[in-house]
Structure 1
Amino acid sequence: MISIVIPCKNEAENIPPLIDEIAEHLGDRDIEVIVVNDGSTDNTAEVLTGEAAKRAFAVRHLRHDASVGQSLSLRSGVLAAAGDVVATIDGDGQNDPKYIGPLVDKLLEGGPAIGIACGQRIKRKDTKLKQLSSRFANWLRGSILNDKTRDSGCGLKAVHTDIFRRLPFFNGTHRFLPALVIQEGYDVVAIDVLDRPRRFGTSNYGILDRGARGALDLFGVWWLKRRRHKMPVVEEIPYD
């Protein structure tokens, strides 16, 4: 089973078309959709009630009593997931669900050495300022962490559930998933994905506040990398 985790805050208008596309591209697979409602103040709850009633696959609604951000929303979804693989996608519609299947296939084709498959956005639809800040952040992160992806901020990812649950969670985890997976002893694969403009609403994340938090998080992940021992191969020896 693939557990598709969608963190969202005030994305009621974007949810139905996004789930329509998931049904179109993944309706023949064993899936569940977990929408993590991060303290929304719109009618997200009512929209999800309607979506759950009409879908052939499970549409689950996890609600936070207060907004805690994207990373902890992913954590809630991952801990609740019933699938062997977790696929993540943003709730604003900028990520195209047609790439979820190829990401999962790329992950599984890589065998046990591969821990995560990442989407890498091309033809970005954000403002020029946001594109430039993202490009610089990705260059800096890649230079320091060597995390084998040029776009760790893309919301489209596929990760083995058991590996995902072993990762440290903090306010910013979602920007460093490839590096954290590498620290667990696994490798990273990636595919290019086309970016899309947001359908409805406005972004819940700003450039300056995200940049300040990201710099601190980058130092923290670098520290974890420096302090982490090489992961050993563990073998249980049977008694004669």
Structure 2
Amino acid sequence: SLPGPLEGRHFDFVVAIDLLDRRNCASLLQNVYEFLNPGGEVLFYESNPWNIVLKLRRSLSGFFGGHDPRSLLGRPQLYELMSEVGFIRVFSVYNDFVYAPLTRRLAWLLRNLSIVLENAPVVRTLAGSILLHAQKPPRLVERPKTSLFAHQQLRRAVSIVIPCHNEKMNIGPLVMRLRDLFDEYIHEIIPVDDNSTDSTAEVIRKLTEADTRIKPVFRSPPNGVGRAIADGYRVATGRYILSMDCDFQHLLPEVRDLFDAAVNGYDVVVGSRFSRHSVLLNYPFQKIIANRGFHLLARLVLLRRFRDLTNNLKLMRREVVEKLELMEPGFAVNAEIGLQPLLMGYSIQEVPISWINRTPDMGASSFRLMRVGSGYWRVLYRLWVKCTFGVGAYKSLAFGKGVRHTRRAQDAAPH
């Protein structure tokens, strides 16, 4: 029972599995709340009472005289309880369709399907677990600075390009967190203000005053994330160029995996959202279908093997960037940046990364699937014309031979 041996101790994080029960959850949550330092966070994985396999097990157990004593809580009840105890920024999602009695190999094979099901309307309510995250007030708390620098050969070698459109709430925390975690890697940070109508430009100017390595670009119309990224690439002077979106601030520690791959000799490293080791939380289902459909067709048309090359989280040698032909004004530029290096023969590694949908305090994304979708198909058509006939909009690209697929980290099947 709590607090027990934990009496008087305090923590920044508490992680628990199957801790909460309808009969004891109020007192347990109150104890956990008291354990936390101000600004501390909790992460719970609780069994989902609506899970079909769990229901079947309980029925079979009851038939043979057994009994599951737990009185599980559903997602709405868990969310309400966390709020009543005093937690803020409560985040609750259904998670995981890969669980016993699946064998280890079957779990590996079905991991990607699980990503889809976890984000599918209605179906996700049958997942195995409920993932619950919350924070003890206050919302803003200063964390200890921890450097993740590990590779001397990349010291002061990386230019970071960040396209920004109405990101006043995100660009400051993102830049500060980049400096805390990866300061020794940073050659320069290039926030590209794409004609924001809020105070993004003012926030960027204040950041510039605090660090001369922050070298902003303030664009003139017309707008477009593709134009913003291309402008940022043109002024970057580091040996490597890292591009990312403004809403990646909560997952920045995962960027170290890109640096690890770069020092192993890869020309391009891409953060893959659809690796078997990736985690997607609240990813819009229609975007999953569109992404997977585009990549399936691209593999068939281009006769290459890859999993996810359209994410903006990419680390590239500058010589690769200098050879890109970027024509798309919008989000489809990510397809150009991802596919062109593969067809030019550069070595590419995909590393698993996570993705969490924006919370209300991060503002809204400017991505609109119906508005930008045609650009992706346009890129694929142009690349097919170049591969097949050697002509078209990308005719000046020097396509290489021999590289038929990306290297996917940590993706081997278990034995």
Q: When the two structures are superposed, what TM-score results if normalisation uses the length of structure 2? A: 0.51
Tell me the amino acid that sits aligned with residue 150 of structure 1. R
Q: Which residue of 2 aligns with 1:235?
A: none
What is the deviation of 1:38? 1.0
Match of 2:297?
140
- Aligned match of 2:218: 63
Asked if the contact 2:173–2:249 (Cα under 8 Å) also holds between the matched residues in 1, the reply is no
| Among 91, 98, 101, the residue aligned to 2:246 | 91
Deviation at 1:231, TM superposition (A): 4.1
How far apart are residue 115 of structure 1 and its match?
Answer: 2.3
RMSD between aligned residues: 2.1
Report the alpha carbon displacement of residue 72 of structure 1 after superposing the two structures with TM. Answer: 1.9
From the superposition, tell whether residues 133 and 231 of structure 1 become closer, same or farther in structure 2 (CA, over 3 Å). closer
The alignment partner of 2:263 has SS state of helix
Please give the alpha-carbon distance, in whole angstroms, between the structure 2 residues aligned to 1:183 and 1:27: 33
Please point out which of 311, 333, 344 is paired with 1:173.
Answer: 333
Change (3 A) 1:11 1:230: closer
Q: Which amino acid aligns with 2:202?
A: E
> Which residue in the other structure is 1:100 paired with?
255
Query: How big is the shift at 1:36?
Result: 0.8
Higher relative contact order (CA 8 A, sep 6+): 1
- Is 2:354 the partner of 1:188? no
Query: Helix, strand or coil for the counterpart of 2:216?
Result: strand
When residues 149 and 22 of structure 1 are mapped into structure 2, their CA distance, relative to the original with a 3 A threshold, is farther
Provide the C-alpha distance between the structure 2 equivalents of 1:68 and 1:95, rounded to a whole number of angstroms: 27
Q: Which residue of 2 aligns with 1:115?
A: 267
Of the three residues 223, 236, 249, the one matched with 1:81 is 236
CA contact (8 A) 1:83 1:161 kept: yes
5+ long unaligned stretches in structure 2: 1-156, 391-396, 402-415
1:110-145 deviation digits (Å, cap 9, x = unpaired): 2xxx32110001322322222222222222223323
Contact 1:182 1:188 in 2 (8 A): yes
Structure 1 partner of 2:140: none
1:49 counterpart = 2:201: no
Equivalent residues of 2:161, 2:233 under 8 A apart: yes
* Offset at residue 176 of structure 1 (A): 2.9
- Give the secondary structure class of the aligned counterpart of 1:109: coil
Q: Secondary structure at the match of 2:218?
A: strand
CA distance in 1: counterparts of 2:324 and 2:398, whole angstroms: 15
Rg larger for:
2
CA distance in 2, matches of 1:192, 1:9: 26
CA distance, structure 2, for counterparts of residue 169 and residue 157 of structure 1: 15
**Identity %, equivalent residues:** 23
Q: Aligned with 1:45: secondary structure?
A: helix
Q: 1:84 to 1:67 in 2, by over 3 A?
A: same
Distance 1:106 1:50, change over 3 A: same
Post-superposition offset of 1:229? 6.4
Q: How many residue pairs were aligned? A: 228
Consecutive aligned runs of 4 or more in structure 1 exceeding 6 Å deviation: none
For residue 150 of structure 1, the aligned residue among 291, 304, 307 is: 307
Choose the corresponding residue for 1:33, options 154, 164, 189.
189
Alpha carbons of 1:198 and 1:147: their partners in 2 closer, same or farther (altered >3 Å)?
farther
In structure 1, list runs of 5 or more residues that go unmatched: 233-240
